[in-house]
Structure 1
Amino acid sequence: MNQLINDHLCKTRNDLVEEIKVLSDTQLNAKPDANSWSIAQICHHLVLVEESTVKAIAWGLKQEVNKQMERKNVQLIVDRTKKITAPKIVEPADDFFTVKQIIELLDDSRKKLTTFLNTIEDPTILAEKSVKHPAIGELALDQWLEQIYFHEQRHIGQIKEIKALIKVEH
């Protein structure tokens, strides 16, 4: 895996865990309003996105090489002024999660991602193949990796807002 992408994945995940590890289980599951996700649900969504990304990349690796692929500015996904509706496959459960459970789920999905990526003999192929992303459109497989940490950054901003709404002391 590209070292820069790996560094971004690690830093963003560490930032996410720092935001949630200070919460009580009740705070983690508190919803700011009836139409919003709790912080637990946001984290569960991030786990589901990471797991779906592994599946998308695995599927994309089986496709033909796409030479004329347009690179996208995946960083735009961080902009929360643009509402993105989560596809059903990555909608979080309504379950009550503990902080410990969420951190374990996040760790598990990251281990699955890195284990999968370590099976790819020639990572340069990731820039030559693509799969359609539900929010961004046709996306190079290496950019699917980038969208993981940009997507997490998007939701870290949302988590900070929710913490302020539910009055979490820093």
Structure 2
Amino acid sequence: MNQLINDHLCETRNNLVEEIKSLSDTQFNAKPDTNSWSIAQVCHHLVLVEESSVKAIAWGLKQVDNKQTERKNVQLIVDRTKKITAPKIVEPAEDFFTVQQIIELLDDSRKKLTTFLDTIEDPSILVEKSVKHPAIGELPLDQWVEQIHFHEQRHIGQIKEIKDSSKLSTNELPGD
């Protein structure tokens, strides 16, 4: 895996964990309103997206007639002014999640991603093949990897908004 992309994945994941680790489980699962996700659901969505990205890349690698496609500015996915509806396959569960449980799920999905990428003998093939991304369109497989950390950055912004709007900082709510 490209070292720069790996560094971005690690840095973004560390930022995500920093945002959530001090929340109580109650704060973590509190919804800002009935039509919004809780922070726990945002994080579960990130797990599902990472797992689905691995499946999409694996599927794209198996396609014989898959061709190279135009590169996209995947960084644009960070822009939260542009609403993106999550496909059903990556909609989070309504379950109650503990912070620790989600951190473990995030660790597991990242291990699956890195283990999978390490099995690719010639990573240059990722540039040559593409698969349609639900929000971005036809996307080279290497950019499927790249978009993961940008997608996490987008949702870190959402988590900060939820914390700000709900006054979820740990020093503003009585002991949950």
TM-score by length of 1: 0.97
1:31 aligns with 2:45: no
How far does the alpha carbon of each residue in 1:113-137 deviate from its partner, in whole angstroms, 9 at most, with x for none? Answer: 0110110000011010000000100
1:116 aligns with 2:116: yes
Counterpart residue number, 1:21 = 21
Q: Secondary structure at the match of 1:123?
A: coil
Aligned AA for 1:39? I
Q: Secondary structure at the match of 1:101?
A: helix
Counterpart residue number, 1:140 = 140
Instruction: Confirm or deny: 8 A CA contact 1:50 1:148 kept in the other structure.
Output: yes
Aligned AA for 2:67? N
Instruction: Confirm or deny: 8 A CA contact 1:27 1:166 kept in the other structure.
Output: no
Aligned AA for 1:5? I
Counterpart residue number, 1:66 = 67
What 5-or-longer segments of structure 1 have no aligned partner?
A: none
Aligned AA for 2:32? P
Instruction: Confirm or deny: 8 A CA contact 1:75 1:150 kept in the other structure.
Output: yes
Aligned AA for 2:110? R
Q: Secondary structure at the match of 1:168?
A: coil
Instruction: Tell me, in whole angstroms, the C-alpha distance in 2 between the residues paired with 1:40 and 1:81.
Output: 22
Counterpart residue number, 2:169 = 169
1:153 aligns with 2:131: no
How far does the alpha carbon of each residue in 1:18-45 deviate from its partner, in whole angstroms, 9 at most, with x for none? Answer: 0000100000000001100000000000
Q: Secondary structure at the match of 1:131?
A: strand
1:129 aligns with 2:129: yes
Percent of aligned pairs with the same residue?
A: 85
Q: Secondary structure at the match of 2:22?
A: coil
Counterpart residue number, 2:91 = 91
Length, aligned pairs only? 169
**Deviation of residue 78 (structure 1)?**
0.4
Q: Secondary structure at the match of 2:131?
A: strand
How far does the alpha carbon of each residue in 1:92-112 deviate from its partner, in whole angstroms, 9 at most, with x for none? Answer: 000000000000000000000
TM-score by length of 2: 0.94
Counterpart residue number, 1:9 = 9
What 5-or-longer segments of structure 2 have no aligned partner?
A: 171-176
Instruction: Tell me, in whole angstroms, the C-alpha distance in 1 between the residues paired with 2:44 and 2:129.
Output: 28
Counterpart residue number, 1:101 = 101
Aligned AA for 1:81? T
**Deviation of residue 168 (structure 1)?**
2.5
